[in-house]
Amino acid sequence: GAVVSQHPSWVICKSGTSVKIECRSLDFQATTMFWYRQFPKQSLMLMATSNEGSKATYEQGVEKDKFLINHASLTLSTLTVTSAHPEDSSFYICSARPGTGGGFTEAFFGQGTRLTVV
């Protein structure tokens, strides 16, 4: 299957600093990538949909100024957690869909990034 790579796998940062997480589709192009957050023993929650060359679409309740998303190419999307606080500590996962059209296509997930804010 297609490969989606996330980096870093884990990161520890001080409160108030910013952290950037990268999501790359290694062997396919993805117009659309998705960012999820997962707290322990809970479902993945969609944070935002990242569209190449345009602004991301954020889910209700997600602060767009805090979680900055950039999708500059068909293979790379980044999520920057700005001024991180301990409550932002979570598991962040991206996914990408091959192709540029809509409809039913498989979504491939990255391995996730464990963020711990101290």
Partner 1 sequence: KNQVEQSPQSLIILEGKNCTLQCNYTVSPFSNLRWYKQDTGRGPVSLTIMTFSENTKSNGRYTATLDADTKQSSLHITASQLSDSASYICVVALTGTASKLTFGTGTRLQVTL
Residues that bind partner 1 (CB under 8 A): 1, 4, 6, 32, 34, 41-46, 49, 91, 93, 95, 97, 102-112, 114
Tell the smallest beta-carbon distance from residue 16 to partner 1 (Å). 26
- Among residues 34 and 67, whose Cβ is nearest to partner 1? 34
- What is the Cα Rg of the chain in Å? 13
Residue type, 66: K
**Backbone phi and psi for residue 90, each to the nearest 5 degrees, phi listed first:** -175, 180
Determine contact, residues 32/17, Cβ cutoff 8 Å. Answer: no
Tell the smallest beta-carbon distance from residue 48 to partner 1 (Å). 11
Tell the smallest beta-carbon distance from residue 83 to partner 1 (Å). 25
- Among residues 66 and 114, whose Cβ is nearest to partner 1? 114
- Among residues 49 and 80, whose Cβ is nearest to partner 1? 49
The length of the chain is 118
Taking alpha carbons only, the member of 20, 58, 18 closest to residue 36 is: 58
CA distance 4 to 26: 6
Tell the smallest beta-carbon distance from residue 59 to partner 1 (Å). 10
- Among residues 16 and 59, whose Cβ is nearest to partner 1? 59
Residue type, 40: P
